[in-house]
Chain A
Amino acid sequence: MATTACFVIVSRNDIPIYEAEVGSAAKREDAAQLHQFILHAALDIVQDLAWTTSAMYLKAIDRFNDLVVSVYVTAGHTRLMLLHDSRNDDGIKSFFQEVHELYIKTLLNPLYLPGSRITSSHFDTKVRALARKYL
């Protein structure tokens, strides 16, 4: 498992609808905002790259010092972004695919308004379990 990892789902309007610190490292107070800054800045790169490929998984697209941003763009242009310091490409890909499935299940919930924050605790536990499994 990666020591630092921050997972964010960004809606098509650039609003984060789900955030989770899934790293095993001890949580630092200022880390949260740094992670957000890095991920937020990476949106520019995603914007450029998303239209150059038909694949959903964009691999590692941006880096800041030793932190790498990997992105997975769904068909609805929802972006699953992972900030990590480990290089486990296959694991990250599987992680993204499974989270995508979970996300689709959330979308199927008639009470969930697409683009709103995902507050389901079930979703949260599932994502964290997947993070433990793959990252």
Chain B
Amino acid sequence: MVDPANTSLGRMLLDEISPVVMVLRTPLVEEACLKNGLTFIQMLRPFCVFNNIDVPVRTASDQPYRLQKFGLRLFYESDIRQPNLEVAKERLKQVITQAAEKDVSELCSDLPQINNAVSRAENEVLPSWFQFFNKELVHTVSFSDHEAFDHPVACLVVVSSKDDQPINRFVDLFNTNKLPSLLTSGAMDPKILKHYLLVHDNQDGPLEKATKILTEMRSTFGSDCQLLCINSSQDGVVEHQDYPWVLYKSDDLPSQPRRCFLNVDDFNEIKDLMQDLSTKHVIPYMEQKIRVLNQQVSATRKGFRNQIKNLWWRKGKEDVVDSPSGPTYTFNSNESQIRVLGDYAFMLRDYELALSNYRLISTDYKLDKAWKRYAGVQEMMGLAYFMSDQSRKEAEYCMENAFNTYLKVAPSSQQNATRCGLWWIEMLKARYQYKEAATVYFRVCTEEPLHSAVMLEQASYCYLLSKPPMLHKYGFHLVLSGDRYKKCDQIKHAIRTYRSAMSVYKGTTWSHIKDHVHFHIGQWYALLGLYDLAANHVLEVLACSHQSKTMQELFLRDFLQIVQKTGKTFEVSKLQLPEINISSLRVIFEDHRTYASSAAASVKEKIWVSLEEEMIPNLSTARTNWLELQSKLIPKKYKESNVCVAGEAVKVDIEFKNPLQIPLLLSSVSLICELSENSDEMQSDANSLLSGLQNDGESTKLNHRDVNFENSLLSVSDVGFSLRGGETTVVQLTVTPRVEGILQIVGVKWKLSGFVVGFHKFETNPVKMIRKRVQKAKHPHSDNLKFVVVKSVPKLEGVIHPLPKRAYVGDLRNLVLELRNKSEFAVKNLKMKISHPRFLNIGKRESLNAEFPACLEKTNSDHSGVPANPTDASHSMFLFPEDTIIQGETPLLWPLWFRAAVPGNISLCITIYYEMGDISSTMRYRTLRMHYNLQVLPSLDVSFQISPCPSRLQEFLVRMDVVNKTSSESFQVHQLSSVGHQWEISLLQPVDAIFPSQSLMAHQALSCFFMLKNHGKPSTSEDEISSHFRLQGTDVRLGTQGSSEPLFDIASSPLADFHHCERLHQEILHKGDTSTVDFILISRPLKNDNNPVGSDPPHLFSHHACHCSTASTSSISWLVDGPRTIYHDFSAPFCEINLSMTLFNSSDVVASVHINTLDSSTSDNLNDATPVQPATSSDNQEGWHDLSLVTDIKVTSDVLKVRTSKSTPVESVSPFIWSGSSSTRVQLEPMSRTEIPLQVSVFSPGTYDLSNYVLHWNLLLSNDQGNRDSRSSGKCQGYPYYLTVLQSD
């Protein structure tokens, strides 16, 4: 533990609580001293403090002790009074303002680091003016009447030797009524020790006169007279090595030491004088007074009897005085005497004695409710405890008690409370209880903002100094202090505190704290005119999405104001308003791949690559040429970077997001680009090197090149838009390089509200390095943002019009593809490929001007219309004719046929490949990619069911089900065509019976029947092929009976082509069926619809149903033919009837057929395990068969047995028998027919069902066909064939 006297509090107390000497002087004394630029007191002051006075002192006890440190406080009589509060405040303010002036330069420096602050020692952290400020605060309460230590102990009466009648002057000085009120009001004993001093100025004359006066004085006043000679230096200025007044300079001395006439002799004389005064007069006087008072006090107060008396007496006095300051005590009252005794003892370092007296008096004051005096005594007790290094707890308790008591009698004692608090704090600090000290500082705060600002700042430093440092509290108190500094316009101090606080709050995630600190410090910097700093701070709080709308507005408005005041364009890297979503960055550029629309660019590259696979020249062959060229033009190191073409825009999609609730106005949003020309390779290297260096240095700065120069090289788009609160917008920015070279997209810049330029640099380099090593970059933006700009080459622009956005299924339209080439160089070798050939078909050039749909109509001539495309156009690419060259202004128009094949959302991709006419260009070919999105809605749903006609061979019944699935459209069914010349379709009923209303309304369903005939020759494989060339078929008009509208030629180009596509597509579904038929239903929208005629181009709907199977499940069909009714005379033994069975093999392999005729006796044959399937029932024949049970439960053999047993005649003896061979076996060639004779013998008249025969058929498959079809054999029950035999008469 440090000696309490050596702590800062100890030193402070030595300064503050030491005997006061009142100085009375004549004006001439002052005049003599002022020659040195010092007042009399100032001159003496350095010699008033004695660090090693070594005087023996004996107070109340008998044991003397030696006093080491001692000091005297000198005051003019005019200063011994309570200071004026207002003046004091003014002084304090001045002190603070002065302190602020010193720190201006610091305000602009970098922010302090918290680690530095922690590691620094206390003295370095605390501003020096704190101590001075505290001292001034303490002085505001000096010379209070309740504290005896401020009462003058002695009086120094000083007269100059130049004065007239010096003796009289001495008397006059003390007798004037200018004496301080303390002496006159009776608060203290007016009889004090007097000491007479004669000052002689050696410059004024010889010493003799002075010594004469001195002897005169001695005779008049006794021995307490002394002579002081000053200004002994004759020739003026004396330079002193250790100017003793330097220490006091800061107080109130003029800053420059003036001429000094004091020499070493004078110093020594003054020193001797003061020592003499202390040791020989003041201290003995105090000793004596202590002894006298102590005796009095012991007599009146010590001892049991006196205490009882005192207590009783006080009780009685209780109701006498109750003024706010408590009762008044004169100097000769007991209480005052005890207090004086205590204070004197304290000043003479006899703390035991002081304490005992303070204790004694404190109870008295408490009982008297003299709270201010009580508090004062408590305060002194605390200090005494501290100085005697006794119980800490007691000391703190006393200080707290004093503090609280002072506050209780507030506001008059506020200053006392402050002083008490400051001492208390020093006490705590001396014991390293910084945390507690800080709380006391906090309590010392008063209403007055300036005062509390300083206190709070000191509190914050206490938190910083406590172990471990409490940084959060440090920051908080700094902020509190800063706010109060601001309140009293001490902006520099406010900034200083906030700057310190910033070290705590830097990078904090406590959003409101961060906003508050940055915003206020920014505002204050702005008040000081440091707009750059201000803007930097306010910038931090701009993206405050958590704040309320008004706060956001306030922040933004202030920021803009500050920026405006800076008077220059303010550039901010990574300005938070608006936010840029870097991951959303998309770069669209066109090298050999060009895009017709932005939608095309957003389609996955994979799709395009697969589409273009066959079109673009083989890599190995293409590369040799292409690379060779490129390596000449492009430096090697850029080989891996992207290629773009001069004069063509590189587009960048950037997503901007407004994080605030208030709208933002953005203007001049553009890309920052660098383009270095590579006129020759060396220079380009140098250029790129240069730009590389620039990039390192100025990642947070914008470099401004010559704008004109830039403009000649490249042009960037300039976009302005406004973002509503919380809105996110994707903006497309473009840059168009004008010359060849290396283009680097560096970043994006924008103007916020017209004058704040924000920019954001894309930092791709680290990402790029990593990605490159792993694989090709996945996202466009992580590609290098560096482009090699090559010489401008022709570029095709294409558009298809009018491609509908929405269409109904089956919609058939005629479109035009328009290709333009703006450049003067020609392109040639065009090829085109379509991702969905079912939807788009390439027409003939001749049909460009043909009128639709008239061009599809059947004319009289057999080969009308455009013949179908001979090539297999469905999947391969389309080659434009060799001589197609697009150049200059003339566009190439080419007809396309569109047909909405299936419902759904369709993404149509079309890619067109073309080669440059100019061989010397860097690129030999390019591709144009077009993309359209299309919504196809369901319209008519057409399904066909075909079942063989049971009564005729090669004839079929066709049921067509049509459902209109649209919600509003009506259709008119126009025509139904069957495809293939072997098929012939015809109506079963007149059209009017089918279509009474002649149209299909929305949701309407319709079924109708047709007869389909397979006539003539069996088709061969050659025919199949030929049918591609020319679709032949028969048409059925389904329109109104009398309509003369021509039928459409299904063999004409688009219909046939689309039909072919449909066939190919639907083939997958109907695999393996050999005998199939295709139908095309053509309808058109009802003319008198809601939408006016003419707004819609005329269009047709064609519905293709392909591969409708005509075959039943078995590939063998037969027909039993013969007489139905026979007259026979049964007198003859029996009647023989000849029948013939025609067998037809519809499969493409040889079939072996085996017919078993059954008589009833052999009916058990039917009961074998394989169920016999009636020929009439086929799998895909729902709703179109006889209603026998078999279709539903054909697998159940039980039921079958019932049926077969039923089918056998009821009589036990069969009324007829099959005559002839009971079993016949024939071989049938593919697609051939044969006839087998059958014979039946009938024994009696009646009607007979000749169905009791069974056909076994077996396809003789070769090996490779073996697994193609599951049904290679089968067994069929015979058809019912009714034969009526009548008795002929």
Other A-B pairs, 14, CB within 8 Å; known A36-B511, A41-B472: A29-B548, A29-B551, A33-B516, A36-B510, A37-B476, A41-B473, A41-B475, A41-B476, A42-B472, A44-B463, A44-B470, A44-B471, A44-B473, A45-B470
Collect the chain B residues with CB atoms within 8 Å of residue A32's CB: 512
Collect the chain A residues with CB atoms within 8 Å of residue B548's CB: 29
B238 at the interface (CB under 8 A from A): no
Collect the chain A residues with CB atoms within 8 Å of residue B515's CB: 33
Collect the chain B residues with CB atoms within 8 Å of residue A40's CB: 472, 475-476, 508, 510, 513
A38 at the interface (CB under 8 A from B): yes
B550 at the interface (CB under 8 A from A): yes
Interface 0/1 of A40-59, CB less than 8 Å to B: 11111100000000000000
B479 at the interface (CB under 8 A from A): yes
Main secondary structure of the interface of B (DSSP, over half): helix
The B-contacting residues of A in range 15-47, CB under 8 angstroms, are: 15-16, 29, 32-33, 35-38, 40-45
- CB-nearest residue of chain A to B480: A37
Determine whether the beta carbon of A16 is less than 8 Å from that of B471: no
B84 at the interface (CB under 8 A from A): no
Determine whether the beta carbon of B476 is less than 8 Å from that of A38: yes
Given A37-B479, A41-B472, A41-B476: A29 in contact with B550 (beta carbons within 8 A)? yes
Collect the chain B residues with CB atoms within 8 Å of residue A43's CB: 472
Interface 0/1 of A71-93, CB less than 8 Å to B: 00000000000000000000000
B509 at the interface (CB under 8 A from A): yes
- CB-nearest residue of chain B to A46: B472
Determine whether the beta carbon of B471 is less than 8 Å from that of A33: no
Collect the chain B residues with CB atoms within 8 Å of residue A41's CB: 472-473, 475-477
Q: State the CA gap A32–B513 with chains docked (Å).
A: 9
Question: How many cross-chain pairs have Cβ atoms below 8 Å apart between A and B?
Answer: 41
Q: State the CA gap A41–B510 with chains docked (Å).
A: 12
**Which residues of chain B have a CB within 8 Å of any CB of chain A?**
463, 470-473, 475-477, 479, 508-513, 515-516, 548, 550-551
Q: State the CA gap A29–B550 with chains docked (Å).
A: 9
- Distance in Å from the Cβ of B480 to the closest Cβ of chain A? 8
Determine whether the beta carbon of B550 is less than 8 Å from that of A33: no
Interface 0/1 of A3-21, CB less than 8 Å to B: 0000000000001100000
- CB-nearest residue of chain B to A11: B509
- CB-nearest residue of chain A to B470: A44
- Distance in Å from the Cβ of A45 to the closest Cβ of chain B? 8
Collect the chain A residues with CB atoms within 8 Å of residue B476's CB: 37-38, 40-41
Q: State the CA gap A41–B475 with chains docked (Å).
A: 8
Can you list 15 A-B contacts (CB < 8 A)? A29-B548, A29-B551, A33-B515, A33-B516, A37-B479, A37-B516, A38-B476, A40-B475, A41-B472, A41-B473, A41-B475, A44-B463, A44-B470, A44-B471, A45-B470
Collect the chain A residues with CB atoms within 8 Å of residue B508's CB: 40
- CB-nearest residue of chain B to A30: B516
Collect the chain A residues with CB atoms within 8 Å of residue B472's CB: 40-44
Q: State the CA gap A67–B471 with chains docked (Å).
A: 20
- The 7 A-B pairs at the shortest CB distance, nearest first, are namely A41-B476, A44-B470, A33-B512, A33-B516, A36-B512, A15-B509, A44-B472
Collect the chain B residues with CB atoms within 8 Å of residue A42's CB: 472
Determine whether the beta carbon of A16 is less than 8 Å from that of B509: yes
Q: State the CA gap A100–B974 with chains docked (Å).
A: 76
Q: State the CA gap A32–B551 with chains docked (Å).
A: 12
- CB-nearest residue of chain A to B515: A33
Q: State the CA gap A40–B472 with chains docked (Å).
A: 6
- CB-nearest residue of chain A to B477: A41
Collect the chain A residues with CB atoms within 8 Å of residue B512's CB: 32-33, 35-36
Q: State the CA gap A118–B475 with chains docked (Å).
A: 26
- Distance in Å from the Cβ of A119 to the closest Cβ of chain B? 12
- CB-nearest residue of chain A to B469: A44
Which of B470, B509, B512 gathers most chain A CB within 10 Å? B512
Q: State the CA gap A38–B472 with chains docked (Å).
A: 9
- CB-nearest residue of chain A to B547: A32
Collect the chain A residues with CB atoms within 8 Å of residue B516's CB: 33, 37
Q: State the CA gap A40–B470 with chains docked (Å).
A: 11
- Distance in Å from the Cβ of A46 to the closest Cβ of chain B? 9
Collect the chain B residues with CB atoms within 8 Å of residue A36's CB: 510-513
Determine whether the beta carbon of B513 is less than 8 Å from that of A37: yes
- Distance in Å from the Cβ of B243 to the closest Cβ of chain A? 46
Which of A15, A35, A36 gathers most chain B CB within 10 Å? A36
Q: State the CA gap A16–B511 with chains docked (Å).
A: 9
Q: State the CA gap A20–B548 with chains docked (Å).
A: 14
Q: State the CA gap A44–B548 with chains docked (Å).
A: 29
Collect the chain A residues with CB atoms within 8 Å of residue B509's CB: 15-16
Q: State the CA gap A29–B549 with chains docked (Å).
A: 11
Q: State the CA gap A36–B463 with chains docked (Å).
A: 19
- Distance in Å from the Cβ of A25 to the closest Cβ of chain B? 16
- Distance in Å from the Cβ of A67 to the closest Cβ of chain B? 13
Collect the chain A residues with CB atoms within 8 Å of residue B511's CB: 36
Q: State the CA gap A45–B439 with chains docked (Å).
A: 13
- CB-nearest residue of chain A to B516: A33
Collect the chain B residues with CB atoms within 8 Å of residue A44's CB: 463, 470-473
Q: State the CA gap A43–B471 with chains docked (Å).
A: 9
Q: State the CA gap A37–B513 with chains docked (Å).
A: 6
Collect the chain B residues with CB atoms within 8 Å of residue A16's CB: 509-510
Collect the chain A residues with CB atoms within 8 Å of residue B510's CB: 16, 36, 40
- Distance in Å from the Cβ of B387 to the closest Cβ of chain A? 31
Q: State the CA gap A36–B513 with chains docked (Å).
A: 6
- Distance in Å from the Cβ of A48 to the closest Cβ of chain B? 8
Collect the chain B residues with CB atoms within 8 Å of residue A35's CB: 512
Interface 0/1 of A96-127, CB less than 8 Å to B: 00000000000000000000000000000000
Which of B473, B475, B477 gathers most chain A CB within 10 Å? B473
Q: From the candidates A15, A29, A33, A45, name the one contacting B513 in the complex (CB within 8 A).
A: A33
Q: State the CA gap A44–B472 with chains docked (Å).
A: 6
- Distance in Å from the Cβ of B1038 to the closest Cβ of chain A? 62
Q: State the CA gap A45–B463 with chains docked (Å).
A: 11
Q: State the CA gap A9–B475 with chains docked (Å).
A: 20
Collect the chain A residues with CB atoms within 8 Å of residue B551's CB: 29
Collect the chain B residues with CB atoms within 8 Å of residue A33's CB: 512-513, 515-516
Q: State the CA gap A132–B515 with chains docked (Å).
A: 29
Collect the chain B residues with CB atoms within 8 Å of residue A37's CB: 476, 479, 513, 516
Q: State the CA gap A44–B550 with chains docked (Å).
A: 33
- Distance in Å from the Cβ of B1141 to the closest Cβ of chain A? 76
Q: State the CA gap A41–B470 with chains docked (Å).
A: 8
- Distance in Å from the Cβ of A127 to the closest Cβ of chain B? 17
Q: State the CA gap A94–B472 with chains docked (Å).
A: 28
- Distance in Å from the Cβ of B494 to the closest Cβ of chain A? 16
Collect the chain B residues with CB atoms within 8 Å of residue A38's CB: 476
Q: State the CA gap A62–B242 with chains docked (Å).
A: 52
Q: State the CA gap A44–B477 with chains docked (Å).
A: 13
Q: State the CA gap A42–B508 with chains docked (Å).
A: 15
Q: State the CA gap A15–B514 with chains docked (Å).
A: 13
Q: State the CA gap A116–B357 with chains docked (Å).
A: 64
Collect the chain A residues with CB atoms within 8 Å of residue B550's CB: 29
Q: State the CA gap A23–B1180 with chains docked (Å).
A: 75
Collect the chain A residues with CB atoms within 8 Å of residue B477's CB: 41
Q: State the CA gap A37–B510 with chains docked (Å).
A: 9
Which of B476, B479, B516 gathers most chain A CB within 10 Å? B476
- CB-nearest residue of chain B to A16: B510
- Distance in Å from the Cβ of B1148 to the closest Cβ of chain A? 63
- Distance in Å from the Cβ of B463 to the closest Cβ of chain A? 7
Which of A15, A38, A40 gathers most chain B CB within 10 Å? A40
Collect the chain B residues with CB atoms within 8 Å of residue A45's CB: 470, 473
- Distance in Å from the Cβ of B475 to the closest Cβ of chain A? 7
- CB-nearest residue of chain A to B442: A64
Collect the chain A residues with CB atoms within 8 Å of residue B473's CB: 41, 44-45
Q: State the CA gap A35–B511 with chains docked (Å).
A: 12
- Distance in Å from the Cβ of B512 to the closest Cβ of chain A? 4
Q: State the CA gap A42–B471 with chains docked (Å).
A: 10
- CB-nearest residue of chain B to A8: B510
Q: State the CA gap A35–B515 with chains docked (Å).
A: 13
Q: State the CA gap A15–B507 with chains docked (Å).
A: 11
- Distance in Å from the Cβ of A8 to the closest Cβ of chain B? 9
